[in-house]
Amino acid sequence: MKQVCGDVTEKDVPLATEWCTSITQLAYQGSNPSKSLKVLINPHGGPGKARQIFAQKVEPVLRAAGCTLDITLTTRAGHAIDIAQNMALTYDALVVVSGDGLIHEVFNGLAKHATPDKAFCIPVAPIPAGSGNGLSLNILGLLDGLDPCAAALNVLKGTGQPMKVDLFSFTQGNQRRISFMSQTVGLMADVDIETEHLRWMGDLRFVWGFLRGVVTRKTCKMELSMKVVEQDKSQMVDALYARRRSAAKGAAPGLPAADITPTNDKEGDEVDSPGNWVTFEKPILWMVAGKGPYVSRSLMQFPVSHPDDGLIDISIQEIVCLVVGRKFLLDAMEGAEFGRSYWFSSNRYVKGSAYRAKPLTNSGVLMVDGEAFPFEEFQIAVLPRLGTLLSPYPHYAPDFKVVDAKGTMREAT
Ligand SMILES: Nc1ncnc2c1ncn2[C@@H]1O[C@H](COP(=O)(O)OP(=O)(O)OP(=O)(O)O)[C@@H](O)[C@H]1O
């Protein structure tokens, strides 16, 4: 018998091959690591290191696993929309090396695809290379969410069972866009826009912008109409953990026609969604609505969010007789990365199936998924389970700590 290596003979080769295949299957949790991937890289995202991050930390991992890569460097804003819109539906996943802005473009491109329902079934996998990287943090958690190598492994392992996620239909005038993460007005939106030029600072720009906002402390006047489904904070925490345990899955209903124009009739809904309409018209410091616990490493904005409950979490920071002063805002920074502000009584937090927002002043900032939009009336409806993500878990990765009777934060059980 011919020696192959050391004591290994020809007859051992089939056995060794079978053994290697089993190890590979074990390592990749039953998913085939050799994938066909469309890769989008934004060379100008965040601190501008996306190209190096991909070449040094991500590409070697994907190539070693035998993946076929079709790589495009985006050359302008809007480029990723065009690519996703015209993409062949033959890829196993769409890998996005950037921050959340490019992910926003990708989902909007998929919505314009000739066959959007099929296009939305191609899973999207973020590789963190922007400033906020909220989606990556939500999929991989605080520890791994900013690690490009962990994100590369998620691409190889995560396609076994992609995670369905709700998206939002954002309508303004007769324009419809897809939002996947957040809509923000007031101080938090000012923070985003006023620190655009500080992308080189990475996510520290948000902390700097918040401190600056505390000094200027402007209020914001909006009329908010929310179709509220749940508003009891303790029950929302209980539901979070119950749902994580069961991680229920259902069928994706698809993208409704693009012309769901808003109606002014509060009784008549453009979508058949649950809940009761509630109107809120007090001056506020900010309103942030969206999905996914983290919007950046320093802020767990929606700690009780579920990927696919068909609802949007809405957080309104009220002004209560000037109690919300500068000291309060500075205190609010402590524990913000663990969602401590969720428990503040001045943080009105509800889950709804739709909402409308109408600015009552002429000037202000509206950010959608971190991108600036006209400060005008808009409407949001949830598109249940339309998006598909690669994720190691069937739920968002970050844990939410609860506050006990003594005000100490602890892990929820
Ligand atoms: N080649 C390019 N030149 C200029 N802008 C680009 C280019 N490619 C993409 N963009 C734009 O850059 C915007 C921001 O990109 P990205 O999300 O990657 O970074 P970021 O905003 O720093 O990160 P985050 O959204 O997580 O804060 C995108 O919305 C996109 O419109």
Ligand 1 contact, 293 CB (< 6 A)? no
Is the pLDDT confidence value at 204 over 70? no
Architecture of domain 169-391+398-411: Sandwich (2.60)
Lowest-pLDDT choice from 107-111, 186-190, 321-325, 388-392: 321-325
- pLDDT at 278 (0 to 100): 93
More confidently predicted of 109 and 211 = 109
- Catalytic residues, by residue number, are 100
Is the pLDDT confidence value at 166 over 90? yes
Which atom of ligand 1 lies at the shortest distance from residue 369's CA? 25
- pLDDT at 31 (0 to 100): 63
Is the pLDDT confidence value at 19 over 80? no
More confidently predicted of 35 and 194 = 35
pLDDT category of residue 281 using cuts at 50, 70 and 90: confident
Q: What is the pLDDT of residues 31-81, one digit of tens each?
A: 677 899 999 999 998 789 999 999 999 999 999 999 999 999 999 999 999
Lowest-pLDDT choice from 55-69, 249-263, 355-369, 392-406: 249-263
Ligand 1 contact, 109 CB (< 6 A)? no
Q: How far is the CA of 45 from the centre of ligand 1 (A)?
A: 4
Nearest residue by C-alpha to atom 30 in ligand 1: 77
Ligand 1 contact, 51 CB (< 6 A)? no
Architecture of domain 31-161: 3-Layer(aba) Sandwich (3.40)
Q: How far is the CA of 129 from the centre of ligand 1 (A)?
A: 10
If DSSP codes are grouped into helix, strand and coil, which group holds residue 19?
helix
- Token representation of residue 305: 């969010």
Instruction: Enter the pTM of the model.
Output: 0.83
- pLDDT at 246 (0 to 100): 78
Alpha-carbon span 392 to 379, nearest angstrom = 32
Mean per-residue pLDDT, 139-157: 94
Average pLDDT of every residue of the chain: 82
More confidently predicted of 233 and 210 = 233
Ligand 1 contact, 203 CB (< 6 A)? no
Ligand 1 contact, 101 CB (< 6 A)? yes
Q: What percentage of the chain has pLDDT greater than the value 90?
A: 53
Is the pLDDT confidence value at 387 over 90? yes
Nearest residue by C-alpha to atom 3 in ligand 1: 76
Q: How far is the CA of 175 from the centre of ligand 1 (A)?
A: 21
Which atom of ligand 1 lies at the shortest distance from residue 130's CA? 23
Nearest residue by C-alpha to atom 21 in ligand 1: 101
Beta bridge partners of 314: 289, 350
Q: Which amino acid is at 18?
A: E
- pLDDT at 354 (0 to 100): 96
Closest by CA to 312, choosing from 396, 395, 229, is: 229
Ligand 1 contact, 199 CB (< 6 A)? yes
Ligand 1 contact, 197 CB (< 6 A)? no
Is the pLDDT confidence value at 251 over 50? no
- pLDDT at 258 (0 to 100): 47
pLDDT category of residue 140 using cuts at 50, 70 and 90: very high
157: left (phi over 0), alpha (psi -120 to 50) or beta: alpha
- Token representation of residue 236: 């929302």
Q: How far is the CA of 176 from the centre of ligand 1 (A)?
A: 20
- pLDDT at 269 (0 to 100): 47
Lowest-pLDDT choice from 100-104, 124-128, 336-340: 336-340
Which residue of 39, 97, 98 sits with most ligand 1 atoms within 8 Å of its CB, as the best mutation to test the pocket? Answer: 98
Nearest residue by C-alpha to atom 7 in ligand 1: 76
Is the pLDDT confidence value at 307 over 90? yes
Which atom of ligand 1 lies at the shortest distance from residue 46's CA? 22
Q: What is the ipTM of this complex?
A: 0.96
- Token representation of residue 122: 């191609």
Q: How many residues belong to the chain?
A: 413
Concatenating the DSSP letter of every residue in 326-375 gives HHHHHHHHTTGGGTGGGG-TTEEEEEEEEEEEEESSS---EEETTEEE-S
Look up tokens 């991937």; give the residue: 37
Alpha-carbon span 47 to 49, nearest angstrom = 6
More confidently predicted of 47 and 321 = 47
Lowest-pLDDT choice from 122-136, 221-235, 246-260: 246-260
Mean per-residue pLDDT, 385-409: 82
Mean per-residue pLDDT, 278-291: 89
Is the pLDDT confidence value at 28 over 70? no
- pLDDT at 6 (0 to 100): 54
Alpha-carbon span 300 to 207, nearest angstrom = 13
Ligand 1 contact, 108 CB (< 6 A)? no
Ligand 1 contact, 38 CB (< 6 A)? no
Q: How far is the CA of 367 from the centre of ligand 1 (A)?
A: 14
The set of residues, in sequence order, having a beta carbon less than 8 Å from that of 174 and lying 6+ positions away, is 261
pLDDT category of residue 161 using cuts at 50, 70 and 90: confident
pLDDT category of residue 192 using cuts at 50, 70 and 90: low
Q: How far is the CA of 409 from the centre of ligand 1 (A)?
A: 36
Ligand 1 contact, 262 CB (< 6 A)? no
Ligand 1 contact, 98 CB (< 6 A)? yes
pLDDT category of residue 1 using cuts at 50, 70 and 90: low
Q: What is the pLDDT of residues 340-385, one digit of tens each?
A: 888 888 889 999 999 999 999 888 889 999 888 999 999 999 999 9
- pLDDT at 261 (0 to 100): 41
More confidently predicted of 334 and 239 = 239
Q: Where are the domains positioned within the chain?
A: 31-161, 169-391+398-411
Q: How far is the CA of 99 from the centre of ligand 1 (A)?
A: 7
Q: How far is the CA of 370 from the centre of ligand 1 (A)?
A: 10
Q: How far is the CA of 168 from the centre of ligand 1 (A)?
A: 20
- pLDDT at 379 (0 to 100): 97
* Planar angle of CA 365, 380, 136, nearest 5 degrees: 75
pLDDT category of residue 401 using cuts at 50, 70 and 90: confident
Is the pLDDT confidence value at 29 over 50? yes
- pLDDT at 201 (0 to 100): 56
> Residue 167: which H helix or E strand, with range?
strand 163-172
Task: Please give the C-alpha separations between residue 114 and each of 118, 200, 261, 293, 403, in angstroms, as whole numbers.
Answer: 9, 37, 21, 32, 48
Which residue of 42, 81, 107, 182 sits with most ligand 1 atoms within 8 Å of its CB, as the best mutation to test the pocket? Answer: 42
Ligand 1 contact, 79 CB (< 6 A)? yes
